[in-house]
Chains A and B, each alone.
Chain A
Amino acid sequence: MNRTIERAAPFALGLISLGLWQGLVWALAVPPYVLPGPIDIVAAFIGDFNTLFAALLSTLAVTFSALLIATLLGVFLAVAMAASPLFRAAVQPWAVIIQVTPVVAIAPLIIIWVGQPFMALVVCAIIVSFFPILSNTAAGLAATPADLLDLFTLNGATRLQTLFWLRLPAALPNFLVGLRISGTLALVGAVVAEFVAGSGGFASGLAYRIIEASYRLEIPRMFAALLLLAVSGIVIYAALGLLERFLLRRRDGV
Chain B
Amino acid sequence: MLTIDSVSKRFGEGTLALDGITAGIAPGEFVALLGPSGCGKSTLLRLLAGLEQPTAGAIVWDEGHRPAAGGVGFVFQDATLLPWADAAENVYLPLKLRGHRRADVADRVHAALAQVGLADFAGARPKQLSGGMRMRVSIARALVSEPMLLLMDEPFAALDEFTRHRLQEDLRTLWRKTGKTIVFVTHSIYESAYLASRILVLSPRPGRIAADLRADIPEGPDRRETAAYTGLVHEITETLRAVMPA
* B121 CB–A CB distance under 8 Å: no
Q: Is the CB of A254 within 8 A of B127?
A: yes
Q: Are B84's CB and A155's CB within 8 A?
A: no
Binds A, one of B21-29, B75-83, B173-181: B75-83
Q: Does A154 belong to the interface (CB within 8 Å)?
A: yes
Q: Evaluate whether A151 and B125 lie within 8 angstroms (CB atoms) in the complex, with A157-B97, A161-B97, A253-B86 already known.
A: no
Q: Tell me if A6 counts as interface (CB < 8 A to partner B).
A: no
Contact A155 B70 (CB under 8 A): yes
Bound CA span A219–B50, Å: 72
CB of A150 within 8 A of CB of B82, answer: no
**Is there an interface contact between B125 and A169, defined as CB atoms closer than 8 Å?**
no
Q: Which of B69, B77, B84 contacts A252 (CB 8 A)?
A: B84
Give the number of chain B interface residues (Cβ < 8 Å): 26
B74 at the A/B interface (Cβ < 8 Å)? yes
Distance from B166 Cβ to chain A, minimum over Cβ atoms (Å) = 23
Give chain A residues whose Cβ lies under 8 Å from the Cβ of B50. 154
Whether A166 is near chain B, meaning CB under 8 Å from some CB there, is yes
Q: Mark A166-181, 1 if CB is under 8 A from B, else 0.
A: 1001001000000000
Within the complex, the shortest CB–CB distance from A110 to chain B, in Å, comes to 39
Residue B132 at the chain A interface, CB threshold 8 Å: no
Cβ of A10 < 8 Å from any Cβ of B? no
Contact with B along A117-158 (1 / 0, CB 8 A): 000000000000000000000000000010110111111110
- State whether A155 and B125 are in contact (beta carbons under 8 Å apart), knowing that A166-B82, A252-B84 are contacts in the complex: no
Assembled-state Cα–Cα distance A103/B127 (Å): 43
A3 contacts chain B at the CB level, 8 A cutoff? no
Which of A148, A154, A252 touches B70 (beta carbons < 8 Å)?
A154
- What are 7 A-to-B residue pairs whose CB atoms are below 8 Å? A148-B82, A151-B76, A151-B93, A152-B97, A154-B70, A156-B69, A253-B127
A145-B80, A156-B97 known, 15 other contacts, Cβ within 8 Å: A147-B78, A148-B82, A150-B51, A151-B80, A152-B97, A155-B98, A156-B70, A165-B93, A165-B97, A169-B84, A252-B84, A252-B126, A253-B84, A253-B86, A254-B128
A residues near B (Cβ < 8 Å) are: 145, 147-148, 150-157, 161, 165-166, 169, 172, 251-254
